[in-house]
Amino acid sequence: MNENRVAIIGIGMTKFGELWDYSYRDLITEAGIKAITDAGIEGEDIQELYVGSMSPGLFAGQEHIGALVADYSGLSGIPATRVEAACASGGLALRQAFLSIKSGRNDIVVAGGVEKMTDVPTGAAMMALMGAGDEQWEAFQGITFPALYALMARRHMKEYGTTLEQISEVSVKNHYNAQFNEYAQFRFEVSLEEVMDSPPVAEPLRLLHCSPITDGSAVVILASEKKARELKDEPIWISASALATDSLALHDRKSLSRMDSVILAAKKAYKQAGIEVKDIDFLEVHDCFSIAEILAIEGLGFCKLGEGGILTEEGQTKIDGDIPVNPSGGLKGKGHPVGTTGISQAVEATLQLRGEAGKRQVKDAEIGLIQNVGGSGATCVVHILSRG
């Protein structure tokens, strides 16, 4: 990698939830205007745009997203590209924007994410989401995403003795954190009993182990080191951007109880940033189902494989724990507008590193890691952000 550093200089986000008053384009326009205002730039300063959106055609009847977003943001004319990697579309858009600046081609680039999922019934949303799995071997056979993650949960429980209580503690923590996040879909606490007794979705996973179906958008503005230093006293730096892949179909994986794409992306990211696991102060990870947070902290190296449940049960992943995970409330509490999630993680990490996260602020946050997964782990994008 060359020495041209890349910074986040502006962030913007809509509220997440069932947003009946917003159209697809309203969502990204609102998040974009907030980010431009936060960056203190003009629209004409923006040289390129990447937008992550998983399935706007099936969720909102709209394709051709790059040009649409440029047009509605008043940026018509600039190069604008839609990026798709299922639920990791946002993370991948961030990476493309990062690479655009890193290459020396541009100084100010936008990375956005947008999804409008609640305009179709749940069954149709599930069908759209299953496009992220293997059509031939999974979707066509009738399996859904909750069921794929249920298979991983069962394997983890069998292999390591992980308990449903431990998996449920992830949901309890993330709902607790989401109370303090003004953007979150579910700003209420749930007890362990409520999680364990919630309606079954795909055994052993229950309603309160699942992320919801969500509308929402988030935007970040990236700048080259020269521009960032001109525009901001304390920009937030992206010190690593790593991407790894695995097979789409679960049955082709070496193991169901770990995600090799996460392990691989994390190794690359630590090497790029020149840091070790112990240097990281907080994580925003992809808990689309609560078992996924356990797989994430294990794959990212915060404990041995099989010990993620114990770490969670001991409270080490709480905001005031040794390694806070998902202070935003995660996908479970904050919501999961699929193509937006990776960008919303960057927004949260920026707020944390600026010290602007209010009641969910992680103490002395200097370095944060964000991890965004596509499908059941076929894509994993990891970024490391820091203050200095």
Is the four-CA dihedral 311, 314, 316, 319 of positive or negative sign? positive
According to DSSP, residue 199 is labeled P
- Cα gap 31→114, rounded to integer Å: 9
Q: Cβ closer to ligand COA: 3 or 20?
A: 20
Q: Cβ closer to ligand COA: 75 or 373?
A: 373
Element containing residue 243 per DSSP (H, E): strand 236-245
Of the candidate spans 64-72, 210-218, 243-251, 260-268, the one that interacts with ligand COA by CB under 6 A turns out to be: 210-218
249 touches ligand COA (CB under 6 A)? no
Contact indicator for 26, 32 with CB cutoff of 8 Å: no
Of the candidate spans 67-75, 211-219, 247-255, 269-277, the one that interacts with ligand COA by CB under 6 A turns out to be: 211-219
Whether the bond between 204 and the residue before it is cis, its omega within 30 degrees of 0, is yes
To ligand COA, the closest distance from the beta carbon of 23 in angstroms equals 20
310 touches ligand COA (CB under 6 A)? no
Catalytic residue numbers? 87, 336
Contact indicator for 308, 301 with CB cutoff of 8 Å: no
Q: According to CB under 6 A, which residues from 77 to 136 bind ligand COA?
A: 87, 122, 126, 129
For tokens 């031939």, the residue is 136
CA distances from 226 to 11, 36, 230, 231, 239 (A): 19, 18, 6, 9, 16
Candidate residues 153, 213, 231, 285; the one interacting with ligand COA per rule CB under 6 A:
213
Q: According to CB under 6 A, which residues from 331 to 350 bind ligand COA?
A: 336, 338
Which residue stretches of 179-319 are H helix?
192-197, 225-231, 260-273, 290-299, 308-313
CA distances from 278 to 131, 133, 281, 300, 325 (A): 37, 34, 8, 11, 14
211 touches ligand COA (CB under 6 A)? yes
To ligand COA, the closest distance from the beta carbon of 254 in angstroms equals 21
To ligand COA, the closest distance from the beta carbon of 343 in angstroms equals 16
To ligand COA, the closest distance from the beta carbon of 231 in angstroms equals 36
To ligand COA, the closest distance from the beta carbon of 209 in angstroms equals 8
Residue 289: which of 196, 211, 188, 381 has the closest Cα?
211
Residue 88: which of 209, 242, 303, 290 has the closest Cα?
242
Alpha-carbon radius of gyration of the chain: 19
According to DSSP, residue 16 is labeled P
- Cα gap 263→122, rounded to integer Å: 32
- Cα gap 87→161, rounded to integer Å: 29
265 touches ligand COA (CB under 6 A)? no
Q: Cβ closer to ligand COA: 115 or 281?
A: 115
Residues 148-187, one symbol each (x = binds ligand COA by CB under 6 A, - = not), give --------------------------------------x-
201 touches ligand COA (CB under 6 A)? yes
Q: Cβ closer to ligand COA: 59 or 270?
A: 59
To ligand COA, the closest distance from the beta carbon of 297 in angstroms equals 18
Size of the site for ligand COA (CB under 6 A): 17
145 touches ligand COA (CB under 6 A)? yes
330 touches ligand COA (CB under 6 A)? no
Q: Cβ closer to ligand COA: 218 or 273?
A: 218
Residues at the site binding ligand COA, with contacts judged by CB under 6 A = 87, 122, 126, 129, 145-146, 186, 201, 207-208, 210-213, 288, 336, 338
